[in-house]
Amino acid sequence: MDNSKRPQIGVSACLLGEQVRFDGGHKKSSLLTDRLRDVFDFQAFCPEVAIGMGIPRRPIRLIERGGQVRAVGSKDADLDVTDKLAGYAASLEAKISHLDGYVFMQKSPSCGVFRVKLYNESGDAVIGVRAGVFAAKVMQAHPNMPIEEAGRLNEPALLENFVVRVCCYREWKEQVLAAPSPDKLQAFHRRYKYLLMAHHPQDQILLGNIAAQARAGSMKGVLEQYETSLMRCLAHRAQRKNHFHVLTNISKVLRKTMSAWQKREWDAVLTDYRHGVIPLVAPLTLLKHYCSATQDGFLAEQAYLQPYPSHLGLRNAI
């Protein structure tokens, strides 16, 4: 991948092997450092170190106090770093605004996203779960940015979904937002039509209607609506039934040029995929072969056929 076009990803520093944890350790993720680093550039952040808590440091946790969520010392509730963490997130706007995604450390009271334990004020009972203070502020400031936790990326479908969202978000900013026009928006939608259909067919139709409304000189509201709907659509994991539907739709065009034995071959592979016998990469590989033979321009440009560098092999497991 061209380094100038590589997606830029924010990452909790401990996930890259930096010894910044409260106990002086790290949580290095080989998935990030050995696999995704080949296609992404990482920018590391550790909010707890950045606000001066030091290494090692007293651990913190989230509690509810006076109707507010506070990040306080696990053993010393008088240590309250909530405002410092929130302030640090705000101060990073210039360094974060260009990012194409962010991978946070799970369970962290500063960086966790989905299931950070929230304790009662006395700290003796868990009363819920929520995002960490720093992560919550980043997501609030950038609601459309692809976000994920490192631990969840070990699940193949979630990993593939995150990479799809990152690469699409990067292309959206480069191909449309950099110099907006109705033609560029509509070309982007044409290219992503089948990928969007695989993630959420109804949202794909909605996005098509939004793109069709674009007019020169009045793009701002349309772009904001399209981006929000785009990332919401892609946040839905593409289900096997939706992939089957997309593969069937694309093959309707290709069947016109297929021989009888190619049709039988394709139908057998598609049936095996539908029943979960083979992964998505099998019918896609065959489909791309048929597409190259027809030289159909519309199909050739479809992001669905290769939404990210194929050597990642992410569709081998879904």
Beta-carbon-side half-sphere exposure of residue 314 (alpha carbons within 13 Å): 23
Among 38-47, 181-190, 208-217, 230-239, the least confident range: 208-217
Nearest CA to 318 out of 279, 261, 276, 262 is that of 279
> DSSP assignment, residue 152?
G
Angle made by CA atoms 306, 40, 229, in degrees to the nearest 5: 60
- Given the DSSP bridges, would you call strands 147-149 and 101-104 parallel, antiparallel or unpaired? parallel
Question: Which pLDDT belongs to residue 295?
Answer: 78
- Listed by start position, the domains of the chain span 3-154, 156-235, 240-312
Per DSSP, 155 falls in state S
Let me know the angle formed at the C-alpha of 281 by 276 and 285, rounded to the nearest 5 degrees. Answer: 125
pTM for this model (two decimals) = 0.95
Mean pLDDT of 292-316: 92
Instruction: Specify whether the CB–CB gap between 176 and 231 falls below 8 A.
Output: no
Model confidence at 195, pLDDT cuts 50, 70, 90, reads very high
Q: Which pLDDT belongs to residue 158? A: 98
Given a cut of 80, is residue 62 above it in pLDDT? yes
Alpha helix stretches (DSSP H) within 73-115:
82-91, 93-96
| Closest C-alpha to 303, from 157, 145, 171, 158 | 171
pLDDT, position 217: 73
What is the pLDDT, as a whole number, of residue 216? 79
CA 119 to chain centre: 29
Number of neighbouring beta carbons within 10 Å of residue 87: 14
Per-residue confidence (pLDDT) for residue 296, from 0 to 100: 79
Report pLDDT for 77: 87
The residue-averaged pLDDT of 46-55 equals 98
What gap in Å lies between CA 146 and CA 123, rounded to an integer? 32
Per-residue confidence (pLDDT) for residue 222, from 0 to 100: 95
Using 50, 70 and 90 to split pLDDT, how confident is the model at 3? low
- The string of pLDDT tens digits covering residues 79-124 is 999 999 999 999 999 899 999 999 999 999 999 999 999 999 999 9
Tokens linked to 73? 């010392």
Q: What pLDDT is recorded for position 2?
A: 53
C-alpha 14/C-alpha 55 separation (Å) is 12
pLDDT at position 218, please? 81
Distance CA 78, CA 98 (A): 36
Q: What is the pLDDT of residue 28?
A: 97
Q: Check whether 4 has a pLDDT greater than 70.
A: no
